[in-house]
Amino acid sequence: MKKIILSSILSIGLFASCASTKELKQGEELLTVAPETRECTAGVAKMQCMMVKEANAAEWQYFYNQIEGFEHEPGYEYQIIVSKSEIENPPADASSLKYKLVKVVSKKLATMK
């Protein structure tokens, strides 16, 4: 019974991720955002960074940018669609990319491991 439930959950998750990648437009990305942030270093300053996975990525990566319109709530894992665009003449100590929330595909309470 547990195997059937687990298989069903995995199938639904796989279907949801496939459905959401089909709706991506030019310049958009599907990101999975981890439930917790981690301390990271940007230049000489320490800050809290979100951990993200791009679609089909196996490893979590530090995300040093902000996502306009997205408010990370600790304890929840998100799948979001963001638009990514180049910033003309960015400051020397800043990113050349701008991220903006397009859609929250899913928000689920993280389980303890």
Identify the pLDDT of residue 55.
87
d(CA 62, CA 111) in angstroms, rounded, equals: 21
d(CA 61, CA 97) in angstroms, rounded, equals: 16
Q: Residue 93 pLDDT > 60, yes or no?
A: yes
Measure the CA dihedral 94/78/80/69, to 10°. -60
Identify the pLDDT of residue 111.
82
| pTM of the shown model | 0.74
pLDDT tens, 30-63?
999 999 999 998 777 899 999 999 988 999 999 9
Confidence grade of residue 69 (pLDDT, cut at 50, 70, 90): very high
